[in-house]
Structure 1
Amino acid sequence: MDRELAGHIADLLTSANRRLRRASRAELERAGVTPGQLRVLRLLHAAGSPLRVSELARQLDVIPRSATSVVDLLEERGLVSRQPDPADRRAILVALTPPATDLLRALRASRAAGVAQLIDRLSPGEQAELARLLTVLTDDD
């Protein structure tokens, strides 16, 4: 591929991502959640069941103390709860609370609205093609 075209594509992708992040940042501020906290909430949601702090730290690629700090803040806000691990009495599991699930649902809807606003300039066929191309680029082989 032509390096100049590759650079142009990289700039365009960065610009589109920046627009989405800007809109998302405002929504997160209104919700009182940081991007790092949202990442923990999304990880817990994707897991489908409570996780140990050590597993959260591993998936976030941070030291356990950093994950503990984020969990502490989320627990103070009532977005996660700690519970004993039935498989190991020494371990603690972190679980989403119903308010966290509601918050994630609202943030997802807001994000979808932001994406829709951005891509509404495209025809339905172009939107489908964009989704297909992005899937090819992000698909893990």
Structure 2
Amino acid sequence: MTTPDADGLLAEQLLRLTRRVHRIQKRHLEQRGLGITPAQSRLLRTLAHYGSPPRMADLAERLEVVPRAVTTLVDGLEASGKVRRVPDPSNRRVIRIEVTDEGRAALQELRGARRSAAEEILAPLSDEQREVLGGLLDTLVDGMPRLERHC
């Protein structure tokens, strides 16, 4: 069993790693000139997982943010042509968000940026260490409540 001090140290290391991952991903996004913020990137990636265009409320729930935050993100992505608002075919008062062709192209670039960032972050690890880390991360993620897994 670990001590509270050891758990606190692990928590601090995880937070430092998370901040580093975000910085590196942001740099890789900027290098590709997509003009997408990390939050917009997350929304675009989340949209890609839906089989049909979701409502703003669905996105807010999935991203665990207030609806107003989703509106701001969608406004930015719509202005750049990566998403569009479309009326729901069964209820025209409901607006859904769909990814455009330009948004799908941006998603491909985002995947490349994330892959490059991952390669940079994992470079110090051997293949064996990466496998162990993957197993540990799976254990942590599988132990999380379902709502927290959508990041």
If the TM-score is normalised by the length of the shorter chain, which range does it land in? Answer: 0.7 to 0.9
Unaligned runs of 5+ in 1: none
Report the equivalent of 1:8. 9
* Aligned residue pairs, count: 141
Q: Which amino acid aligns with 2:80?
A: R
Q: Quick check: 1:107 aligned with 2:110?
A: yes
Q: 1:11: how far off?
A: 2.0
Partner of 1:20: 21
Q: Post-superposition shift, 1:51? A: 0.9
TM-score by length of 1: 0.87
1:89 aligned residue (72, 75, 92): 92
1:69 maps to amino acid? T
Mapped to 2, the partners of 1:9 and 1:65 lie a distance apart of 34
Shift of 1:130: 0.4
**Structure 1 residues 26 and 138: CA distance shift in structure 2, 3 A:** same
Report what 1:126 is aligned to.
129
Name the CA shift for 1:66/1:8 in 2 (closer, same or farther; >3 Å). Answer: closer
Partner residue of 1:137 out of 124, 136, 140: 140
Q: Which moved more, 1:60-69 or 1:43-52?
A: 60-69
Q: Any residues of structure 2 matched to 1:58-97 within 5 Å, and which?
A: 58-97=61-100
- Point out the more displaced range, 90-99 or 26-35: 26-35
CA distance in 2, matches of 1:123, 1:81: 43
Aligned residue number for residue 32 of structure 1: 35
Q: Secondary structure of 2:59's match?
A: helix
Instruction: Report the CA distance between 1:77 and its aligned residue.
Output: 0.5
Q: What runs of 5+ residues in structure 2 fail to find an aligned partner? A: 146-151
- Among all aligned residue pairs of Structure 1 and Structure 2, give the percentage whose two residues are the same amino acid: 37
Q: 2:46 aligns with which of 24, 28, 43?
A: 43
Summarize deviations over 1:33-66 as a string: whole Å, max 9, x none.
1222222212211123201122222323344333
Report the TM-score when normalising by structure 2: 0.82
